[in-house]
C-alpha cells in the first residue's frame, strides 16, 4: 500500500486522554469515557473523531510494548473556547504526514502498522518526525467491524 503525502495545517482538538502502553492498552476505556460527552463540544469542526498518540523520541527505535505513550480521544475545534468540564486541549502542529487508508476491524490493525514501520518507512525516503500520530474516524468508521474505514496519519520528514 502506498500512502498519500499531505501537509496538514495546525489542528486544535478537545477530548480525553490516558497514558497507556501496547501491553496495557486501555483504549476501550478511554473511548467509553469520551463518547457520551463528545456532543458537549460545541465548537467542533465537522463530526470526525480523532484518535491521537504522542510517543517519546526513541519510541519506535527501541520498541518495547511496555513503554508508555499518551493517547487521546477527541474532536477538532475552531478554538479553545467553551471547553467541557473534564476535557483537555491539544494541538497538532502543521507538518507532513504519510496517510494510509485502512479498511478492517481493530484485530487486523497490527498488520497495517507492522507494514508501515517495518516495510514502507525503511524503504522510503522518510523517517518519523516528532509530532503526534493520529487516525481520523469519519462516517465510514464502524467500531470493530470488518467494513470499517479510517485514515492513519504518520508524521514524517525527509531522512
What CATH number does residue 132 fall under?
3.20.80.10
CB 92 within 8 A of CB 15: no
pLDDT digits (tens, 9 = 90+) for 69-91: 999 999 999 999 999 999 999 99
| C-beta neighbour count of 98 within 10 angstroms | 20
Q: Could you tell me the residue range of the domain that residue 41 belongs to?
A: 4-158
Model pLDDT, residue 58 = 87
Mean pLDDT in residue range 45-57: 96
Rounded CA-CA distance 152/1 in Å is 12
Length of the chain: 159
For residue 57, what are the CA distances in angstroms to 38, 54, 61, 62, 128? 30, 10, 9, 10, 9
pLDDT digits (tens, 9 = 90+) for 91-135: 999 999 999 999 998 888 889 999 999 999 999 999 999 999 999
Number of domains in the chain: 1
Model pLDDT, residue 144 = 85
- Mean residue pLDDT of the chain comes to 95
Say whether 122 sits in a helix, a strand or coil. helix
Rounded CA-CA distance 51/20 in Å is 13
- Give me 148's grid cell: 470499517
Amino acid at each position: 500500500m502506498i500512502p498519500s503525502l499531505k501537509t496538514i495545517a495546525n489542528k486544535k482538538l478537545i477530548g480525553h486522554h490516558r497514558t497507556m502502553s501496547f501491553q496495557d492498552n486501555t483504549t476501550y476505556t478511554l473511548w467509553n469515557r469520551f463518547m457520551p460527552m463528545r456532543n458537549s463540544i460545541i465548537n467542533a469542526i465537522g463530526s470526525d473523531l480523532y484518535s491521537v498518540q504522542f510517543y517519546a523520541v526513541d519510541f519506535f527505535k527501541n520498541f518495547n510494548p511496555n513503554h508508555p505513550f499518551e493517547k487521546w480521544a477527541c474532536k477538532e475545534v475552531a478554538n479553545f473556547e467553551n471547553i467541557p468540564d473534564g476535557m483537555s486541549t491539544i494541538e497538532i502542529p502543521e507538518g507532513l504526514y504519510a496517510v494510509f487508508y485502512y479498511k478492517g476491524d481493530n484485530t487486523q490493525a497490527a498488520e497495517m502498522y507492522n507494514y508501515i514501520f517495518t516495510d514502507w518507512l525503511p524503504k522510503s525516503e522518510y523517517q518519523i518526525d516528532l509530532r503526534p500520530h493520529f487516525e481520523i474516524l469519519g462516517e465510514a468508521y464502524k467500531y470493530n467491524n470488518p467494513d470499517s474505514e479510517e485514515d492513519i496519519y504518520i508524521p514524517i520528514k525527509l531522512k
